[in-house]
Amino acid sequence: MDQATSLAAVALNDVAITFGPKVGGYTAVSGIDLSVRPGEFVAIVGPTGSGKSTILNAAAGLLKPSQGKVRIFGNDLAGLNLRSGYLFQQEALMPWKTALDNVAVALEPKGVSRSEALQRARDWLTRVGLKAFVDRYPHMLSGGQRKRVALAQVLIRDPEILLMDEPFGPLDAQTRQIMGNLLLSLWAADRKAVMFVTHDLEEAIALADRVVLLSAGPAARIIGDFPVPLPRPRDIAEVRMEPTFHHIHKEIWTSLRVEVQKAYAQGEGT
């Protein structure tokens, strides 16, 4: 095991994931080598059906790689990766619990007492701007507010790694921007390692330190790894005006466009 791999928060070595039978199944990704250092914000971008979420699920332990290894801080991953927090694209809150209970319950597996959990959940909901909505049930909140609750639910556990699967995908453009800035400001406080999956290249560049580009599926592989040397702290809206941003965007888009066209040629990548 080389130095870089052992230091990485997440390291995928030659990972391949096949759904269905070993022979004749659908290979989503193959030959994936990717490592994320502690404190690094990595965005994974690719056309639809390129297996972005599959890679994330492998890092979370929700999927077992058919081949290759996943290491978390140098240890082989067996079972779920509980050192990570996972923010889902779909609705993942428990609909039968209020915002406060949804966040507080995340501390129960850690053995935190109920009263302390409630206190800390209140603090976290305040930090994500939902102080006035603690007693609401998920269906009484807007899509953006539900994402804030989900973010608080993940962050209250203080995971060392954040895994995010197009978390702001279903939100409208303005809300996405606000959520992006909220995420960056929370992340800046204690720089966790982040794997952020998105199909939105601009979002990826605006948020990340590094953008990893996947080819079109099946058997998608990494075809580019671009550093984003934009200064921090960033504002999602303003950073898009910078010349460096345009430069990086153009560079990555040249490669991404080819893959997007391939994906569409295969029938919208399905």
Partner 1 sequence: MPRLKLTVLQIGVGLIFLMLWHVLTVYPISGTPKQVQFFFSTPLDVLKRCWTLFASGEIWRHLWITLVETILAFLFGAGGGIIFGFLFARKELLAAVFDPYIKAANALPRVVLAPIFALWFGLGIWSKVALGFTLVFFIVFFNVYQGVREVSPVVLSNARMLGMNERQLLRHVYWPSALTWVFSSLHTSVGFALVGAVVGEYLGSSAGLGYKIHEAESVFDVTGVFAGMLILSVFVILIDMLVTMIENRFLVWRPQASLAAQT
Residue 80 within binding range of partner 1, rule CB under 8 A = yes
Rounded to 10°, the helix 143-155/173-190 angle is: 10
Rounded Cα–Cα distance for residues 153 and 106 (Å): 6
Residue 133 within binding range of partner 1, rule CB under 8 A = no
Size of the site for partner 1 (CB under 8 A): 28
If one counts every other C-beta atom within 10 angstroms of the C-beta of residue 233, the result is 9
Q: In this chain, which of 29, 44, 58, 106 binds partner 1, going by CB under 8 A?
A: 106
Residue 24 or 111 having the CB closest to partner 1:
111
Asked whether 68 and 13 are in contact (CB, 8 A), the reply is yes
Residue 167 within binding range of partner 1, rule CB under 8 A = no
Rounded Cα–Cα distance for residues 138 and 264 (Å): 35
Residue 96 within binding range of partner 1, rule CB under 8 A = yes
Supply the minimum distance, in Å, between the C-beta of residue 91 and partner 1.
7
Residue 94 within binding range of partner 1, rule CB under 8 A = yes
Rounded Cα–Cα distance for residues 251 and 255 (Å): 7
Site string for partner 1, 169-198 (x = CB under 8 A): ------------------------------
The 10 Å CB-count burial string (b at 16+, else e) for 181-190 is: bbbbebbeee
Supply the minimum distance, in Å, between the C-beta of residue 139 and partner 1.
5
Residue 217 within binding range of partner 1, rule CB under 8 A = no
Supply the minimum distance, in Å, between the C-beta of residue 154 and partner 1.
8
Supply the minimum distance, in Å, between the C-beta of residue 260 and partner 1.
27
Rounded Cα–Cα distance for residues 269 and 154 (Å): 31
Distances (CA, A) of 98 to 43, 103, 109, 152, 153: 31, 9, 18, 13, 12
Q: Which residues bind partner 1 (CB under 8 A)?
A: 60, 62, 80, 82, 84-86, 88, 90-98, 105-106, 108-110, 137-140, 153, 157
